[in-house]
Structure 1
Amino acid sequence: MNTNTARRRNHSIGAPRTTSLWALPFALAARLFRPSRRDLISDKAIETAQLARTVTGIAATAWLIYSYPLQESFSEVAKDEFAGILISAAMLVVVGPLVLGLFVLAARPPARAMYWRRLSGPMAGFGSLFLAVLTLYLVLQDSGGARFAAQFGVVGQLLVLVLGLTAVVFAVPFVLASAAFCVHYVFRTADVHEVLPPLLSPLLVWVMFGVQLVDSSPVSAPAAVEMLFLIGPPLSVTALSAWELRRLRTRFGLTLRSALQRGRRPRPR
């Protein structure tokens, strides 16, 4: 293994860090959805490539919005972007556990038990996102909340209102940040094995490509530009995932076959 390009994550105990209240939902979401397995291989080249692609995508989208007139208001465009993130996260909620289950079941017994134990990270992310969405749903139900608050009198209603507003103020940024981190880190599947994120990412973006085919573009751009922005993300993510898998294989000996311990010379992670 090349020690200049890879490192094991070191969770040493240091000085406690303080987080302001407004940043707490984002910090908690990052903590829940960032892979944190102690022996996880962290490759600087892969991280840099992923960051570069994300920054390039944001910059290209900003240029598109700036260069061409919007067919909708800016607020509607922002809502569409957030909706896309939430749809991607929702697809991961459905597809992620299914793929993880199939991966664990396909592994040979020596590795299968280890992978079952590693599922705690992705399941913690799934559970936290589900509870946050459920909290928002329950709090924003006007009739149910009013009936519940009416049982406690005026003081009780005020207390329930304060608690409800606090829950909404915390849950909304937490859900949005969780959805973004969920998509970026592919639901912490690297906690189970490093090859899973690059295998799942292309599936996610091509499904989103199908969703966007039936949706209208938010800007009035030439057909060639619209096609470039439509096909560019899935092609770039697929190419990046293929490069990640190749780098994991050539630099660290990590492949899907070895992960499942089905090769001639299994090297489980």
Structure 2
Amino acid sequence: MSNWNPGGQQPYPPQVPHPYTPQPPYPPHPQPPHPQPPYPPLPQPAAGPFARLWRRFGPLHTARRVFKPSRPGIVQDPVVARMQKVRTWVGLGAVVWMSITYKIASSIGDAVETRADQSWISVLVLSVTFPVAVGVLLALVPATARRELLRRAAKCFGAMVALIAAVFVFPATVLTGFVEGRFATNPVMAVVTYTTILFILVWVLPFIVWGIGLALVHVFRTADIHETMPPLLAMALVWEMALIDLFTDAYAGVPAPVRILLMLGAPVSVTAVGLWELGRLRSRHGLVVRDLLMREATPVPGPSA
């Protein structure tokens, strides 16, 4: 006996470990997802009737419908569209910067105003160039395709008329004395006068500004005629504007190298972008300039028997 075993009990026999037999792994049981109560979407504030009307008939949305091409089946390349916007903003920034740097304009506002005047002159020149281009196409396309050509060109002419008519509103209101309140002879006519002036400032002016930008980027939606026509007309337009600057002595007093850079910068850059666009349309989409003639491809004769 010992203090650790006072009763003299026999010690427990040693336990022999039971041999472990490995069991095959059980396939995992897919656990069904814990059901979650469906959460309703957050309520969106309902647009009022005025907001819905403004979204549908506002000046910017209307300008997009009027000046962006929408022919069924038209090829829209987002890379080309992005390049056109980049070229437009880079050209505007370069002209403004050089005008300020070389004292062509006294301030940024004057430079932007000069650029806006040039944009409007470009719209007028394009309004003359486009009918000439359509006339040339009418003489070259087959007689069976002339009606289709005129149908496609109708929206282009409509965009020109819409922009020129919107711009004509301002001189018309000034020349008739409408802005000065000439016709506000009674309370009713005063309300009509001030409402019209407010409409011109809130709707017509944004439509003109946005429309001029879209008209120059999309070249009066001439892609409705064919996708290769916008780059062709854009290249013709910038070289016409360069000739106008040359004959009107647009940059008098500017050093000769800077003058050459100002006059040739836009034509060269726009021509490079236009040629790149034509190459992309040909390589990516199979569209070439001769498709403007709307002539059916001549079938290749098969081998004779």
- TM-score (structure 2 length as normaliser): 0.69
- Which residue of 2 is the match for residue 28 of structure 1? 62
Kindly indicate whether the alpha-carbon contact (under 8 Å) linking 2:88 and 2:217 is maintained by their aligned counterparts in 1: no
1:255 aligns with 2:285: no
1:155 aligns with 2:158: no
Q: Which has the larger radius of gyration?
A: 2
Per mean C-alpha deviation after superposition, the further-off stretch among 178-187 and 156-165 is 156-165
1:43 aligns with 2:77: yes
Q: Structure 1: state its 5+ residue gaps.
A: 1-15
The CA deviation string for residues 167-224 of structure 1, in whole angstroms up to 9 with x for no partner, is: 4302223222222211111111101111111111111101111222334449x87542
3-state secondary structure, aligned to 1:187 = coil
Distance in 2 between the 1:60 and 1:135 partners? 32
Offset, 1:62: 4.5
Amino acid at match of 1:178: G
The CA deviation string for residues 126-154 of structure 1, in whole angstroms up to 9 with x for no partner, is: 2211321232232222447779726xx41
1:76 aligns with 2:99: no
1:121 aligns with 2:121: no
Distance in 2 between the 1:133 and 1:66 partners? 28
RMSD: 3.1
Offset, 1:260: 1.1
- Which residue of 1 is the match for residue 263 of structure 2? 230
Aligned residues: 247
Q: Structure 2: state its 5+ residue gaps.
A: 1-46, 300-305
- Which residue of 2 is the match for residue 12 of structure 1? none
3-state secondary structure, aligned to 1:186 = coil
Offset, 1:19: 8.0
- Which residue of 2 is the match for residue 52 of structure 1? 86
- Quick one: structure 1 residues 204 and 262, their matched pair in 2 at CA, closer, same or farther if it must change by over 3 Å? same
- Listed as ranges, the matches of 1:189-204 within 5 Å are 189-204=222-237
3-state secondary structure, aligned to 1:149 = coil
Distance in 2 between the 1:132 and 1:165 partners? 13
- Quick one: structure 1 residues 202 and 148, their matched pair in 2 at CA, closer, same or farther if it must change by over 3 Å? same
The CA deviation string for residues 39-71 of structure 1, in whole angstroms up to 9 with x for no partner, is: 111123322332332232234234435644454
Distance in 1 between the 2:97 and 2:180 partners? 46
Distance in 2 between the 1:19 and 1:217 partners? 46
Kindly indicate whether the alpha-carbon contact (under 8 Å) linking 2:99 and 2:111 is maintained by their aligned counterparts in 1: no
Distance in 1 between the 2:282 and 2:290 partners? 10
Offset, 1:25: 2.2
- Quick one: structure 1 residues 36 and 261, their matched pair in 2 at CA, closer, same or farther if it must change by over 3 Å? closer
1:107 to 98, 118, 141: 141
Offset, 1:103: 1.7
Per mean C-alpha deviation after superposition, the further-off stretch among 257-266 and 45-54 is 257-266
Offset, 1:90: 0.9
1:141 to 175, 180, 185: 175
Distance in 1 between the 2:172 and 2:242 partners? 32
Amino acid at match of 1:161: T
User: More helix by proportion, 1 or 2?
Assistant: 1
The percentage of aligned residue pairs carrying the same residue is: 30
Which structure has more relative contact order (CA 8 Å, sep 6+)? It is 1
Amino acid at match of 1:72: S
Amino acid at match of 2:232: L
